[in-house]
Amino acid sequence: QVKLVESGGGSVQAGGSLRLSCVASEYNPSTDCMAWFRQAPKKEREAVASIDKEGYTNYAESVKGRFTVSPDNAKNTLYLQMNRLNVEDTAIYYCAADPGCVLAAVVDRMHVMGYSDWGQGTQVTVSS
Protein backbone atom coordinates (compact mmCIF):
# COMPACT_ATOMS: atom_id res chain seq x y z
CA GLN A 1 0.00 0.00 0.00
CA VAL A 2 1.26 3.46 -0.93
CA LYS A 3 1.19 6.11 1.77
CA LEU A 4 0.11 9.54 0.51
CA VAL A 5 0.41 12.82 2.39
CA GLU A 6 -1.15 15.99 1.02
CA SER A 7 -0.19 19.54 1.94
CA GLY A 8 -0.54 23.07 0.62
CA GLY A 9 -4.18 23.70 1.35
CA GLY A 10 -5.42 26.84 3.03
CA SER A 11 -7.65 29.86 2.71
CA VAL A 12 -7.45 32.18 -0.27
CA GLN A 13 -9.57 34.85 -1.86
CA ALA A 14 -11.30 34.30 -5.16
CA GLY A 15 -8.90 34.79 -8.03
CA GLY A 16 -5.94 33.58 -6.02
CA SER A 17 -3.71 30.54 -6.40
CA LEU A 18 -2.56 27.57 -4.37
CA ARG A 19 -0.24 24.66 -5.05
CA LEU A 20 -1.06 21.35 -3.46
CA SER A 21 1.57 18.68 -2.93
CA CYS A 22 1.17 14.96 -2.50
CA VAL A 23 4.20 13.09 -1.22
CA ALA A 24 4.04 9.37 -1.88
CA SER A 25 5.99 6.66 -0.09
CA GLU A 26 6.49 5.15 -3.51
CA TYR A 27 5.82 6.81 -6.84
CA ASN A 28 7.13 6.15 -10.30
CA PRO A 29 5.48 8.41 -12.89
CA SER A 30 6.44 5.98 -15.65
CA THR A 31 4.52 3.07 -14.09
CA ASP A 32 1.89 4.53 -11.76
CA CYS A 33 -1.39 6.36 -12.24
CA MET A 34 -2.24 9.20 -9.89
CA ALA A 35 -5.04 11.69 -9.44
CA TRP A 36 -6.47 14.51 -7.41
CA PHE A 37 -10.05 14.38 -6.18
CA ARG A 38 -12.08 16.78 -4.10
CA GLN A 39 -15.13 16.61 -1.91
CA ALA A 40 -17.24 19.57 -0.92
CA PRO A 41 -19.69 19.45 2.00
CA LYS A 42 -22.73 17.31 1.23
CA LYS A 43 -21.39 16.42 -2.19
CA GLU A 44 -19.85 13.30 -3.64
CA ARG A 45 -16.13 13.00 -4.17
CA GLU A 46 -15.25 14.07 -7.69
CA ALA A 47 -12.16 13.84 -9.83
CA VAL A 48 -10.22 17.02 -10.47
CA ALA A 49 -7.25 15.79 -12.48
CA SER A 50 -5.47 12.56 -13.32
CA ILE A 51 -2.17 11.60 -14.86
CA ASP A 52 -1.25 8.19 -16.22
CA LYS A 53 2.07 6.41 -16.63
CA GLU A 54 2.54 7.92 -20.08
CA GLY A 55 2.04 11.42 -18.79
CA TYR A 56 -1.42 11.91 -20.27
CA THR A 57 -3.58 14.16 -18.16
CA ASN A 58 -7.33 14.53 -17.77
CA TYR A 59 -9.13 17.40 -16.10
CA ALA A 60 -12.64 18.00 -14.91
CA GLU A 61 -14.41 20.50 -17.15
CA SER A 62 -14.80 22.90 -14.24
CA VAL A 63 -11.03 23.24 -13.75
CA LYS A 64 -9.69 23.03 -17.31
CA GLY A 65 -7.40 25.93 -18.06
CA ARG A 66 -7.02 26.78 -14.37
CA PHE A 67 -5.51 23.68 -12.74
CA THR A 68 -2.37 21.78 -13.73
CA VAL A 69 -1.24 18.39 -12.43
CA SER A 70 2.43 17.52 -12.60
CA PRO A 71 4.79 14.91 -11.11
CA ASP A 72 8.22 15.32 -9.63
CA ASN A 73 9.89 11.94 -9.88
CA ALA A 74 12.91 12.93 -7.82
CA LYS A 75 10.74 13.95 -4.89
CA ASN A 76 8.06 11.23 -5.18
CA THR A 77 5.60 14.10 -5.34
CA LEU A 78 2.53 14.96 -7.35
CA TYR A 79 1.53 18.62 -7.54
CA LEU A 80 -1.72 20.37 -8.31
CA GLN A 81 -1.27 24.00 -9.30
CA MET A 82 -4.58 25.81 -8.89
CA ASN A 83 -5.04 29.26 -10.41
CA ARG A 84 -7.99 31.63 -10.65
CA LEU A 85 -9.68 29.90 -7.76
CA ASN A 86 -13.35 30.51 -7.15
CA VAL A 87 -15.75 29.79 -4.31
CA GLU A 88 -16.93 26.59 -6.00
CA ASP A 89 -13.42 25.16 -5.63
CA THR A 90 -13.83 25.02 -1.85
CA ALA A 91 -13.44 21.40 -0.78
CA ILE A 92 -11.16 18.85 0.80
CA TYR A 93 -8.64 17.77 -1.82
CA TYR A 94 -7.40 14.19 -1.87
CA CYS A 95 -4.50 12.56 -3.63
CA ALA A 96 -5.05 9.05 -4.96
CA ALA A 97 -2.78 6.38 -6.40
CA ASP A 98 -3.18 3.34 -8.62
CA PRO A 99 0.24 1.69 -8.43
CA GLY A 100 1.17 0.05 -11.69
CA CYS A 101 -2.01 1.46 -13.26
CA VAL A 102 -3.64 -1.87 -12.49
CA LEU A 103 -7.14 -0.52 -11.97
CA ALA A 104 -6.77 1.89 -14.88
CA ALA A 105 -7.06 -1.10 -17.21
CA VAL A 106 -10.72 -1.56 -16.25
CA VAL A 107 -11.83 1.63 -14.52
CA ASP A 108 -12.00 5.19 -15.83
CA ARG A 109 -9.12 7.23 -14.47
CA MET A 110 -11.54 9.93 -13.39
CA HIS A 111 -13.54 7.57 -11.18
CA VAL A 112 -12.98 6.98 -7.47
CA MET A 113 -12.96 3.23 -8.02
CA GLY A 114 -9.88 3.61 -10.18
CA TYR A 115 -7.59 4.16 -7.19
CA SER A 116 -6.59 1.89 -4.34
CA ASP A 117 -4.64 4.27 -2.13
CA TRP A 118 -5.75 7.59 -0.72
CA GLY A 119 -4.35 10.40 1.37
CA GLN A 120 -6.08 12.08 4.29
CA GLY A 121 -6.86 15.23 2.36
CA THR A 122 -6.09 18.93 2.64
CA GLN A 123 -8.70 21.66 3.02
CA VAL A 124 -8.98 24.41 0.42
CA THR A 125 -11.27 27.33 1.24
CA VAL A 126 -11.93 30.10 -1.27
CA SER A 127 -13.73 33.22 -0.12
CA SER A 128 -15.42 35.84 -2.26
Taking only the tens place, the pLDDT of each residue in 77-111 is: 999 999 999 999 999 999 999 999 999 889 999 99
Rounded to the nearest integer, the mean pLDDT of the chain is 96
Classify residue 25 by its DSSP letter: S
Classify residue 119 by its DSSP letter: -
What's the confidence (pLDDT) of residue 113?
95
Indicate if the pLDDT at residue 63 is higher than 90. Answer: yes
Cα distance between residue 49 and residue 82, in whole Å: 11
What's the confidence (pLDDT) of residue 51?
96
